[in-house]
Structure 1
């Protein structure tokens, strides 16, 4: 039997901005579109450009699917009374809201674990083997997986059978997120939110040593600083959400009114997980967008670039002796090197590029090299031309 207390004492409260349909729809739709853009750009870089997809990308894909389902459920929940007082809902709205909230809550619990796993698995590409930080990351991956599985089970199976969660049965067998008592329900929501904040702090703190590591390039430090800034924003949303849950004791105080006290927590949920997806994706695709200058896509000028060529006294190479060869600026943009004898350097250049996208925080040790053959015919003196 339900132990919740329903009252109309709060019907005189002014409507918060977070309860308005346009606010809920606007934030949820904007965030999910931004998340799709960032994740798709990340996957494009990993699959099409560097061909170095990993388990972290699988977690991001699963996250995107779950949070999309949750976002759709939240948008539908507005039509079933989200933002209004629970006692003012009709019976069809009551059941519809519980169904959509069931999907939204379960997908949030799963997606927040998946996006953390994606970040932690990304860290495995950064830190060397046999180091304390790497072992710590592995341990945190295992703990996060167990935490996510446990709370996901409570969210996806809150009652036995599951449909008792929204059926309105007088004495359902429910627990955790489906508990019919205020204390267990609040404990489930608040414990998950508290552990979530602690994990956010730990995940955010792991890459901090890279800021002070010798050999870390300035560009890597900038990317790391951007990652930390976005991570702090995620932590702010998670903390704010925890405060709203405690403030109204998970929508059970001063009266049980989940559709009235719930919207602010739901909005912060979307902001938190979508910001985390941006945080996990931007360091992967941003270096590629930054390096894609328009000059490498549209060729407007051709510039002849020359370089010196070493000749020995007995130059018997008929392929170079007395001939001219050139390479234009448009050709230079298409590869790392050109001409005879640069095959090995070209391979090194491509490998370095791939590594920079797989691990966006690796130190930059490569030097840019330009190559072209001289347009000046060789003469008998075989003079050197200094560039």
Structure 2
């Protein structure tokens, strides 16, 4: 609600409303902490695989790390806000308590804007490692990287600097003349900033979700690969659904200002959905990286050695041929041999020197899709050739 001059006004018309489930402290803490732990596990496994197993970190891992920092700070600020009136009516709170809530919410909102940009850039840069350079889909993805970077910087700046100085944001005595966007004291500017960011965030989520769809119909794709991609797209749909739900709550309550301005009462559902959305997005970005390694390692727990028994028969002379007619208790020294060998099947395979530094052009292109050509790089070891008249298969040394 606002007055004739377009400024905020407060009302007690909602003091008798029943308490929503999302306003309860145990609901907020339970959901936020649980998803935070799951997100940390998934991102940690992703980074471990990239740095320790395949030893091929890229720019996407950098943005996942930045996301992890901002996301953790945002989730902590939500938990802290429950001690400063989050879930209660703002008219029932003291001025120091409201100031404490505004400080916690300032951190939550700013880190959310940054986290959404970081996780989107991580996904797009991850796509660039898969798509062939020079193709249309590669160029589209690169364009999305540029647009998302500008989008994320703009909204993050507005969120981190909503007022000049920033402390004006939680100063209850301020007239708001030096505030704008997320810190504006005028409903039109304030609501418009939140709604525009939430709407564009959801649209970008949808675009990023459909970018890898061509891989689903690519010739030569195995059934297992298609199944994994479908599972990933299903997880992305969950993120998109959470973003759409959050947009609906923001529009319905006009950013916790309708039917009256009560941010601590109407805000919890939108804040909670923001935390769930961004944590679910990190899971989607991490599972495709660590799951193949985890699944192969899991099978190795149960099958560590495979026993292979071979039997060979050979005939050197007539004496050995005659030995075939001997009784079962008589054995020829040269007639047959049995061999038992142990075949390791649970351990790692490949080059024993795991720490060898490669400057192979193919590997460098997968690690850093944005790099310029380096004179020191070696020709790719992935090639096809032929011996004589018989073609050889593609071989990676």
Distance 2:65 2:121 in 1: 12
Retained in 2: the 8 A contact 1:95–1:167?
A: yes
Query: What's 1:328 paired with?
Result: 342
Distance 1:10 1:293 in 2: 54
1:263 aligns to 2:268 (yes or no): yes
TM-aligned CA distance change 1:264 to 1:335, over 3 Å: closer
Gaps of 5+ in 2: 313-336, 368-392
Which structure is larger by alpha-carbon Rg, 1 or 2?
Answer: 2
Retained in 2: the 8 A contact 1:296–1:334?
A: no
Pairing partner for 1:176 from 151, 169, 181: 181
SS at structure 1 position matched to 2:166: coil
- Larger relative strand fraction: 2
Distance 1:149 1:305 in 2: 63
TM-aligned CA distance change 1:125 to 1:305, over 3 Å: farther
Pairing partner for 1:131 from 135, 139, 155: 135
Query: What's 1:373 paired with?
Result: none
Pairing partner for 2:208 from 193, 203, 206: 203
CA offsets per residue over residues 157-205 of structure 1, 9 Å max, x none?
0000000000223323100000001110000000000100110110000
Retained in 2: the 8 A contact 1:3–1:180?
A: yes
Retained in 1: the 8 A contact 2:297–2:346?
A: no
How many residues get paired?
Answer: 331
Retained in 1: the 8 A contact 2:81–2:105?
A: yes
Query: What's 1:46 paired with?
Result: 50
Distance 1:303 1:277 in 2: 42
Retained in 2: the 8 A contact 1:4–1:180?
A: yes
Please show how residues 96-245 of structure 1 align to structure 2 within 5 Å. 96-172=100-176, 173-245=178-250
1:35 aligns to 2:39 (yes or no): yes
Distance 2:225 2:309 in 1: 31
TM-aligned CA distance change 1:249 to 1:307, over 3 Å: farther
Retained in 1: the 8 A contact 2:310–2:338?
A: no
Q: TM-score, normalised by structure 1?
A: 0.80
Please show how residues 72-91 of structure 1 align to structure 2 within 5 Å. 72-91=76-95
Retained in 1: the 8 A contact 2:8–2:185?
A: yes
Query: What's 2:20 paired with?
Result: 16
CA offsets per residue over residues 42-93 of structure 1, 9 Å max, x none?
0011001000100101111110110100000000000000000011111111
Gaps of 5+ in 1: 309-322, 359-366, 368-387
Retained in 2: the 8 A contact 1:117–1:144?
A: yes
